[in-house]
Structures are given as structure tokens and as C-alpha cells.
Amino acid sequence: MTPLATVTEIDMVTTEALSWPDRARQLIILTDGDYEHAGELLHGIKDLRKEVDATFDGIIAKAYSAHKEAVGQKKKAEAPLLEAEGILKRGLCAYDTAREAERQAEERRLQEVARQDAERRQLEEAAALELQGHANADPELLWEALQLLEQPVQAPVVLLERTTPKVNGLSYRDVWSARVTNLPALIRYVAANPGHAGLLLANGPALNGLARSLKGGMQIPGVEAVCQKTAAAGGRG
């Protein structure tokens, strides 16, 4: 195993690296000599980066290994708790949903009973008015009976309290999400409504792959192949 860098070695390579941005800024490339000197500086940076790798990679690998081990141990301890939590949450949600469905069904049943009750009373009242109107030959009472029959039934609203026990700290919330069931239909919708273009994401890796493959020959509507020149410092030949 490669020995880990000492604090002194870390300080030395870091101090040297910190001096390079100023060296780069101080060089203004105006002549061929400046150009060649800049190329040499690139080689110097490449060599120093190798030193940085040698200095820090062992430390990083050891730290990563320790981190990975700790994360693995944590996951091992958490996994059964997450499983148990999921089991309990699903059971609680299922029970609460069932009790709520029962409550709503009973509420609807009692509401219908109340409506029928109100309708029966309304019919009885209208029948009494009609009977009295015929008995007294009173057209106004007959008119009132007719008007009463035409009125909508006014039943009291029935509201039942939730029957699920209250558990301290336990609450429920609805979590909504979207699932694409027909991608072409979504694409057509966005094409007709450009304001919703954010609903679609361009596949950056795939498009970059096409640009590298086709270069300037890539012809896709709405996409531009961009070429940026960059310098690379290879070995000192």
C-alpha cells in the first residue's frame, strides 16, 4: 500500500499550486516566445497535477473506504427500521382509508334518510294544505300546496366526525405525482402550447453524443451543434 502523504508534503504541493494562477495571469501571449512559454507552463501544470494526485489520492481512497464502510453499516442498521416503518405506515393508511370510507358511506346513508324524511314531511304538509283548500274551497291554499311541492327538498346536512383514533404526532397528507402514459400525446400538447415547454426535458447526453458523432452535420430542429476549442497538454516530446 502506498504510504499516505505527510502534512508537510500536503502543505508544499498546495503552496506551489496556489502560486500558479498568478503566474498564468502575468503571462500575456503577444509573441511566439510567449506562446511557447505558455505551452511549457501547461506542461508544468500537468506535472504538478500528477504530484497533487500522488499526494491526495491515497488520502481520498482511505477516507472514501472509511466513508463507504460507515455508510454501509448505517444502511444495514437502518434497513430493518425502514422496512418496519413502511409496513406500519401502509397499515395505518389502509386502516384510516377504510374507516374514512365507512364514515363517508354512513354519512351518505344518513343524509339520504334525512332527505327522505324532509321530502315526506313536505309531501304531508302539501297534502294537508290541499285537503284544507278543497274543504274550504280556498284557491290560495291549493296554490300554496302546489308551490310547496315545486320547492326543492331542504334536508339538514349530516356531518359525522372521523372515527379513526387520534395518535399524537401522526398525520396524513396526500402526495400527488404525475405519470406519463402517452409521450407522443404530451409532445403534441407542448408543441401546440410552447408556454409549457418546461414539461419536456432535452436529453443532454444523447444530444451531446450526436454532436460528437455528427459534428457540424448534426441537423435537428431546435438544436445547434456547438464547437469550442480547448488546449490539451500532452507529454513533453
Q: Which has more pLDDT, 234 or 5?
A: 5
Residue 128 lies in a domain: yes
For residue 160 the three cell numbers come to 359525522
Residue 236 has pLDDT above 70, yes or no: no
Burial zone of 90 (CB within 10 Å; 0-12 exposed, 13-18 middle, 19+ buried): exposed
Mind listing the pLDDT tens digit for each residue in 52-101? 999 999 999 999 999 999 999 999 999 999 999 999 999 999 999 999 99
pLDDT digits (tens, 9 = 90+) for 144-188: 888 888 888 888 899 999 888 888 888 888 888 899 999 999 999
Q: Give how many domains the chain has, as a whole number.
A: 1
Residue 59 lies inside a defined structural domain of this protein: yes
Contact between residue 18 and residue 48 where contact means Cβ atoms under 8 Å apart: no
| Cα–Cα–Cα angle for 37, 43, 44, rounded to 5 degrees | 90
| Residue 216: inside a domain | no
| Within-domain flag for 132 | yes
Split at pLDDT 50, 70, 90, the class of 2 is low
Closest C-alpha among 174, 175, 196 to residue 186: 196
Residue-number span of the structural domain to which 74 is assigned: 7-156+181-210
Percent of the chain at pLDDT above 70? Answer: 98
How far apart CA 163 and CA 165 sit, in angstroms, is 6
For the beta carbon of residue 137, count every other beta carbon within 10 angstroms. 8
